[in-house]
Structure 1
Amino acid sequence: MLQASARENNVYLIGGSIPEEDGGKLYNTCTVYNPDGNLIAKHRKIHLFDIDVPGKIKFQESETLSPGNSLTLFDTPYCKIGIGICYDIRFAEIAQLYAKKDCKLLVYPGAFNMTTGPAHWELLQRARAIDNQLYVATVSPARDDKATYIAWGHSTVANPWGEVTATTEHEEKIVYCDIDLDYVDQVRNQIPIRSQKRNDLYEVHEKGSDS
């Protein structure tokens, strides 16, 4: 269905995330298709959602899933795009590595819950956007109050200045936003943190990876 949708609409399509079985292991996986309907990238969620907030939520994703072991980015005629899934957004180093690889848009399909969503969903998006001076888009399922896991919703786009440029509430809705790549360059020139980093004191490196 995702392949057909990308091909029929002549778009790049980032297909949320689905369970994927490989070699007896299960992964939380996001697939990406080009306008020809070809699979061009596949991100396996790197950080598993194992948390315990007393009295509010306990979740152990590692009881079922295995973590992915690689970053995922892909080229388009417009810019490079980096992919993360949900909990991955909390780990700033991943976004920094994508920025070092010259991504100008990061996309995180995710489903924060009713505890972490109102507290951190938008805050994390804006933080990653400001830290790396790029666009961050998050895509959440609409809220289903009868589900065993209730999503916060609020699909959102934050720009390189940390402003929310598009968002919605928790209901099912399509969110549109123009990604202004010239604005990315403007912000990076106005506040040149990329050239001002003290690489003699600190630096984030990507280690060897596998699929």
Structure 2
Amino acid sequence: MRVAVCQLNSREDRAHNLAVARGLLERAAAGGAEFAILPEYVDFLGRSAEAPKPEPVDGEFAAFFAAAARELGLWVHAGSFHETGPDAARTYNTSLVFAPNGERVATYRKIHLYDVEIAGRVSYQESRSVAPGEQTVVAEIAGVPTGLSICYDLRFPELYRKLAISGAKVLVVPAAFMLHTGRDHWEVLLRARAIENQCYVIAAGQTGDHEPSRTCFGRSMIVDPWGTVLAQAPDTVGVTFADLDLERLDTIRTEVPSLANRRL
């Protein structure tokens, strides 16, 4: 299966962000991809006071990417967006996956939320504005069982082990990883999740500056089950391709049967 990671620098102009995303999906389709993945909060990164109104999973955001999938004949992972949440104060951070006929085939709500308090340095509570999801999701994408996650989920290996035990052969990570952690942790964590679960990992990231005074690391990449980086995006908006060899995945799982040998 040929896959494409679409790397964006989404900012506060939602219409522009969506237009760029559509253009990258067109490039992915033209490059022969069957499955294209967009980053976290693909439609808006900026000050929370200026964020678009949350939508249901069948709202305008979904309609936009359903149409793109249908018109391009492409499996589309629409990164994530602000879904209408359980109460007035919180949204969900939600991923949607669309089949080439435009049907929505999977919905995943980010489970792990980034809450940090470091006296005198940083105070950030994602849980104040985002409600956590509760269900893991493995979706059949082009016939391949694919486990879904979002950004900060990457730091919780138990989530990915559960996805692998549930049958996933591919793990998807749309993200807006910050520069100061991404430069040391992004590749290490992605390769670790690939090796320990013997899965392909496809990670689409935001890149560059956005308000309020933050910078995303980018370096979207595709990692094979051995932990080898098959492809990595440069530090710019664009599309990066790789071909997934599922027979190689089966060979790795046979020759190093760590999933089969687990006892917990």
Post-superposition CA distance 1:67-94 (Å, at most 9, x none): 0010112113431011100001111011
C-alpha distance after superposition, 1:146-200 (max 9, x if no partner): 65331111101111000111101321110101111111101001101122212xx
Distance 1:168 1:55 in 2: 35
> In the aligned structure 2, how far is the partner of 1:168 from the partner of 1:10?
24
Task: State the alpha-carbon separation in 2 of the partners of residues 28 and 169 from structure 1.
Answer: 26
Q: Distance in 1 between matches of 2:223 and 2:261?
A: 23
Taking structure 1 as reference, are residues 134 and 54 closer, same or farther at Cα in structure 2, changes over 3 Å only? farther
Q: Which amino acid aligns with 1:21?
A: T
Q: Which residue of 1 aligns with 2:84?
A: 21
Structure 1 residue aligned with 2:196, among 101, 117, 131?
131
Structure-2 separation of matches of 1:18 and 1:173: 20
For normalisation by structure 1, the TM-score amounts to 0.88
- Contact kept, 8 Å, 1:57 with 1:115, in 2: the verdict is no
Q: 4+ residue runs of structure 1 moved beyond 6 angstroms?
A: none
Q: What corresponds to 2:47 in structure 1?
A: none
Q: Does 1:9 align with 2:81?
A: no
Let me know the Cα RMSD of the aligned residues. 1.6
2:209 — aligned with what? 144
Q: Which has the higher mean CA deviation after the structures are superposed, 57-66 or 161-170?
A: 57-66
Q: How many residues align?
A: 199
Match of residue 105, structure 2, among 29, 40, 47: 40
How big is the shift at 1:134?
Answer: 0.8
Q: Give the TM-score normalised by the residue count of structure 2.
A: 0.71
Contact 2:177–2:206 (CA<8 Å) still a contact in 1? no
Greater percentage in helix: 2
The structure whose RCO (Cα within 8 Å, separation 6+) is larger is 2
Written as runs of structure 1 = structure 2, the 5 A alignment for 1:1-211 is: 1-24=64-87, 25-52=90-117, 57-144=122-209, 147-198=212-263, 203=264
Q: Deviations over 1:43-79 (max 9, x none)?
A: 1100001124667654221121110010112113431
Q: Which runs of 5+ in 1 are unaligned?
A: 204-211
